[in-house]
Chains A and B, each alone.
Chain A
Amino acid sequence: MRFLKIEKLSDLKTVREKVTFLAGGTDIYPLLSDGFLENEIFCDISGIENLKKISIGKKEIKIGALVTFSRIRQNSVLSHYAGALVKAAGEVGSPQIRNRATIGGNVATASPSGDSIPALFVLKARIKTNKRTIPVEDFFMGVKKTVLAKNEIITEIILPKNKMFSDFVKVGPRKALAISKVSVALAVKKKNNIAEEVLIAFGAVAPTVVRARKAEQFLTGKIFSKDNISKAAEIAKGEISPIDDFRSTGKYRRSVAGVLVARILEKAI
């Protein structure tokens, strides 16, 4: 095991070997004690100040990769434009975890139960790296797999500055420190109680986030009536096929997913 530390993004150019970035370490450290990472070279990026900023521009919001969930959760501007992300940030782990865990790390880890990810989907985020900018839709390849190339580093998460209603809900066995059995993020833009745009994303039900496109389509252009909401929820839950594990049955997750969609939509009325 070896350690490098870089203080500036530009120093990355000097790094030749393939490294594993170390941000908050909350995903990495549990593996350390199991000895899984014995042959790894770590590159500590936690000192790069540039990646710790939240900037609210005219059209875009930029969240540095090293911003912790504690900071996202406490940011009052973000709660106007990215309700789902702020909510998801509050659901991550516990205070101790949120004080360390970064959004960049959560995205890079690409865990099916990564809570920020469904939120980023409905907020139409783009993932900016030192090489390119990738729409979130194209970023994830599978469980713990992303399009990131060797030593490609996430620098920012970019969100369009839309005043949309968005929310996130997750269900786990107990309140804090829960791994999601299922989570839902949803964003809605409406005019006169008619849905102009709807985005629905499910977490923890498949290897990567699943968008409920049929349900989104169904609701777009329709009135927010109770009837339409429950139909949309019904359609949405048909778009996923979660598996059984010891935490829960697939059937259960699916029906709860539907309920969660309905619940958020009802809030949006």
Chain B
Amino acid sequence: MKIKFFLNKRKVELDVEPDKKVLYILKDLSVNSVRKGCDEEGKCGNCAILLDGKLVNSCMLIAPQIDGKNVTTVEGLSENGQLDGIQKAFIEAGVVQCGYCTPAQILAAKSLIDKVKKPTKEQIADAFEGVLCRCTGYKQIYNVFEILKGKSAKSFEKEYKKDYRVVGKLTPKIDAEQFVKADDAFVEDYVPKDALHLYILRSPHAHAEVVSIDTSEAEKMEGVEYILTHKNSPKVFYTQAGQSYPEPSPYDQQVISKKVRHIGDRVAAVAATSLEIAKAAAKKIKVKYKVLKPVFTIEDASREGAPIIHNRDTSIDPLQVGADPKRNIVCRNSGGIGDVGKGLKEADATVDGFYSTPFIQHTPLEPHTAYGYMKNGRLVIHTSVQTPFHVRRILAHILNLPENKIRIIKEKVGGGFGAKQDCGIEDIVGTIVYQSGKPVYYRMTRKEEFTVRTRPAMFMKIKAGAKKNGKITALSVETKADVGAYGPHALTVPMNGCSKTLPLFTCENMSYKVTSYYTNNVVSGAYQGYGVPQTNFAVQMTLGKLAKKLGMKYEDLILKNIVKKGYRLEILKQLGEGREGLAQKLSSCGLEECIKKGLKIYRTWRNKTSGANGEVVQGKGMAIMMQGSGIPGLDSANAVMKMISDGTFMLYIGGADLGTGEDTVAAKIAAEELGVSQDNIAVTSADTDTTPFDKGSYASSGTFFTGSAAYKAAKSMKERIIKATAKILGVKPSRVKIFPGGKVGTASRKLSFKELAMITQSGSGCGQLITSGAFTTQVSPIPYAAHFCQVSVNRRTGMVKVDKYYAVTDCGIPINPALARGQVYGAVLKTIGHTFYEALEFGKTGKCLNDNFTNYPIPGIKDVPEFFEVDFVEVKDPITPYVGKSIGELSCDGASACIGLAINDATGIWLDSWPFRPDRVLKELEKQKS
């Protein structure tokens, strides 16, 4: 049918199928801003547009419904390249993180502001409730409206580090403009029309063998260009885990294997000229399965005679990590310091507890996407990934290619949270591109996201004992993890849970034991926090019980036992990642300061009773936490810096910004060191051809590792600048100084950076100034935090509401305060979702029952606590001059325990498994009554 409409005031006339969704009509018109965050369910709202000024989802509209109407998208907001006020306010408020949801949020703001000039908080929440964001925690959206009222960000956002000019100061995220305008950014924005589309046929059985597979009918279909099955799949075993080599994860996977081990495991992949054709062809593939008995629980997996999920005679473990595949054990590890038995005997009070946490999905709003092609005999993949260099290595291994025949380019990532810390789809995309020689695009559906990567289900037994005076004498953690069908991160996730909880305490008798099991459940892996949110929940709840038993306040017990600066963390020697770890003396520790700062506010909160018959009771809780800043002795990062001819700089880092602001952090650090402003540094990152090696973005390493590499490159650039200038001026280098604003020289004779660049790069100069920074370390600074909350529990409905939440963090220096704060808001709100309702549910056959946003809800703006504040304590750490510690993962570690202890404070019940659903709360309350 013919339709006419106005797209951003320009008339468009089209002849389209009447059932064509407006989302696709706009995509075909190269409108990037309509982002598809769900399977067109109307739930994510990231595809929103304004239709005659009203906010609607473009996946919920078809062609005839825009006929004759006005369609507005963010592409139409900036005129002549000038940003609109709302776009500017979004940047200034620091509420742009990965940027995937940003266009829809901006339109939500516009639809509101066009109606109401000074909206109330309620009106703002109302307007934004249909746009999901997984990064920001929504809180800073309210600041956007303050800025629109004329306030400056400085009036509500603090700056840090008085003596610095760029670090600790409010500066825009360097790629924010790209996102608010919806310029090309994500893989999906770069895919040419001729790319083949990939559809993956997935197993309907949890455990089966493919007896035969017949693709002949599918191959005959017009438009089908390549089909991959186990028959023509590479036979190489590998792990998808994006970890430094040799990985502490078993090589237990093939691109497509003859055996399927979970519902959703790959059976075949069809590449065709359209997704519809690929799908239709996949339906014609005839597969005969020999269905095997599945196992869905650790009990069943470890039973005598249980079905064996991995017959790993053929596979290899690069690191021997206690695997026993015949008994479905992926890996094991144990160790400790002192003697826990003795510690328990010495204790005046002991408690033990058993805690469990479910499979949880990351739900980045942008799903996994990759686009690959062959160019000049080389395999090139544009992808949304956290670990491009590991992906290159893994692919080289799978395809038996030299690494220099492969190029991985990380495009902007619309949220990762660990889901993309793997070679999760590049393995299959790369294989098909390489074997077929054709360009291939693959984008996972929301439903598929739920089957390929989750957080493992963990079961934790904790024992603790303390003296009457509160001194903890023993603490032990025993974790069993159900990692599902394959073993990426199977050892390190539960191990990390121990290595980031036990070292919080000065206790001398501590032990841990972890065992991970294969089951036929969904595959698990890395997830922001990496085992710590779960284990810390278990440990802190146990200590909460211990405090009660001792008749102490929780905060007093904690304050008595925490580590301080200078303390030697002996336990870390035991807790390596599949090898010997490194004991570390604490070079800084802001934990006590965080607690004390938080307590000042926490102590002013009064618990009240309200509602009919006093049905609503309040309670308070707190939790402490730590994380790492990368993995010392194991990971590394590199940076290269060039001065270009006008005296500005190019900074090349291998680090993979996933929307959290790593590129900005690196630029700020380099700018600080060189005495220039942030926009003098342009960053190119995470392209295996053009940037140097970096482990990738995981283990909270972005700021410390990648930032330190940038720092070293900048420092070396500074030295080069001084040397070159000294030579030009004919003075000793010791007399030359760099002056702020891009000048260098002596007190009497100065060159601008531009002059210097022109001289050095001229035929008679010393050549372009190029430096590099390589960063490895044996120690890494540990970030700490204390979180505090107050909750209301409705005794009649079991519903719990978080009224107040206060997070105080020692991240060293908040290099970019607004972004750092946004990281905390986002992480906390996500964890509130995990605590209350996020959990994958499975039917009897192992099928996931809630693999969509309709049935797997994630927090929206209305779930933000009324009082939600984030503060920092500034802590100097000699390891890291102005590089700072990590923050993103750390902030996921506290909410569950904090809330669990608050619920106990309010009602006396103990909740020991997530999610704290109202029916469970009510059940516990009833148990308590009887």
Interface residues of A, Cβ cutoff 8 Å to B: 1, 3, 5, 24-26, 29-30, 32-33, 42, 44, 46, 70, 93-97, 99-100, 171-179, 246-249, 251-252, 255-256, 259, 262-263, 266
Contacts and interface: CB of A to CB of B under 8 A. Distances in A.
Contacts of B54: 70, 99
Given A32-B21, A174-B859, A175-B863, A95 B126 contact: yes
A263 B841 CA distance: 31
Interface in B36-68: 39-43, 45, 48, 51, 54-57, 59-62, 64-65
Contact of B797 (A95, A171, A173): A171
A251 B841 contact: no
Given A3-B19, A95-B55, A95-B126, A173 B61 contact: no
B793 to A, nearest CB: 13
A256 B799 CA distance: 10
A266 B610 CA distance: 14
B862 A175 contact: yes
B112 to A, nearest CB: 9
B42 to A, nearest CB: 6
A173 B130 contact: no
21 contacts: A42-B19, A46-B65, A94-B130, A95-B127, A96-B48, A97-B60, A97-B130, A100-B61, A171-B918, A172-B857, A174-B859, A175-B129, A176-B130, A178-B857, A179-B854, A179-B855, A248-B918, A249-B919, A252-B922, A255-B797, A263-B612
Interface string B130-173: 11000000000000000000000000000000000000000000
B855 A3 contact: no
Given A173-B837, A256-B797, A93 B65 contact: no
Nearest to A256: B797
Residue of B130, B798, B837 ringed by the most chain A CB atoms within 10 A = B130
A266 B611 CA distance: 11
B130 A96 contact: yes
Interface pairs A-B: 10 shortest CB-CB: A94-B130, A252-B919, A175-B862, A176-B129, A246-B841, A3-B18, A173-B837, A259-B796, A33-B40, A96-B130
Nearest to A179: B854
Contacts of B859: 174
A247 B855 contact: yes
A30 B126 contact: no
A94 B126 CA distance: 8
Nearest to B276: A35
B849 interface: yes
Contacts of B64: 3, 5, 44
Contact of B60 (A25, A95, A177, A248): A25
Contacts of A42: 19
A33 B862 contact: no
B918 A252 contact: yes
B568 interface: no
Contact of A259 (B127, B797, B855, B917): B797
Contacts of B41: 30
Interface string B525-537: 0000000000000
A252 B919 CA distance: 5
B919 A251 contact: yes
A99 B55 contact: yes
Contacts of A256: 797-798, 918
B444 to A, nearest CB: 15
Interface of B: 1, 18-19, 21, 39-43, 45, 48, 51, 54-57, 59-62, 64-65, 108, 111, 126-127, 129-131, 612, 796-799, 833, 836-837, 841, 849-850, 853-855, 857, 859-863, 917-919, 922
Nearest to B923: A252
A229 B857 CA distance: 34
Contacts of A263: 612
A44 B918 CA distance: 42
A191 B57 CA distance: 46
A248 B19 CA distance: 36
B692 to A, nearest CB: 43
A246 B849 contact: yes
Contacts of B108: 95
Contact of B42 (A26, A171, A251, A266): A26
B857 A173 contact: yes
A186 B868 CA distance: 35
B40 A94 contact: no
A94 B56 contact: no
Contacts of A266: 612
Given A95-B129, A176-B129, A30 B42 contact: yes
Contacts of B40: 29-30, 32-33
A120 B126 CA distance: 24
Contacts of A33: 21, 39-40, 59
A129 B59 CA distance: 29
A177 B857 contact: yes
A227 B319 CA distance: 69
A172 B837 CA distance: 10
Contacts of B863: 174-175
B919 A99 contact: no
Contact of A29 (B60, B111, B917): B60
B919 A1 contact: no
A96 B62 contact: no
A141 to B, nearest CB: 24
Nearest to A175: B862
A252 B798 contact: yes
A262 B795 CA distance: 14
B833 to A, nearest CB: 8
B129 A26 contact: no
Contact of B862 (A26, A97, A176, A248): A176
B594 to A, nearest CB: 29
Nearest to A5: B64
Given A29-B60, A174-B862, 16 more contacts: A5-B64, A25-B61, A26-B42, A29-B61, A30-B41, A95-B111, A95-B127, A99-B54, A174-B836, A175-B863, A176-B861, A177-B857, A177-B860, A252-B918, A255-B797, A262-B612
Nearest to A99: B54
Given A29-B59, A30-B41, A175 B855 contact: no
B55 A96 contact: yes
A171 B45 CA distance: 22
A166 B836 CA distance: 31
A93 B1 CA distance: 31
A251 B917 CA distance: 13
B19 A94 contact: no
Contacts of A5: 64
B857 A97 contact: no
A1 B19 contact: yes
Given A5-B64, A252-B919, A259-B796, A174 B126 contact: no
Contacts of B799: 171
Nearest to A68: B54
A84 B108 CA distance: 27
Nearest to A176: B129
Nearest to B848: A246
Residue of A96, A178, A263 ringed by the most chain B CB atoms within 10 A = A96
A255 B918 CA distance: 11
Nearest to A47: B64
Contacts of B919: 248-249, 251-252
A179 to B, nearest CB: 7
Given A95-B126, A174-B837, A177-B857, A26 B60 contact: yes
Contact of B860 (A3, A96, A174): A174
A96 B45 contact: yes
A177 B43 contact: yes
Contacts of B855: 179, 246-247
Contact of B56 (A30, A99, A173, A259): A99
B300 to A, nearest CB: 20
Contacts of B918: 171, 248, 252, 256
B129 A94 contact: yes
Contacts of A25: 60-62, 65
B65 to A, nearest CB: 7
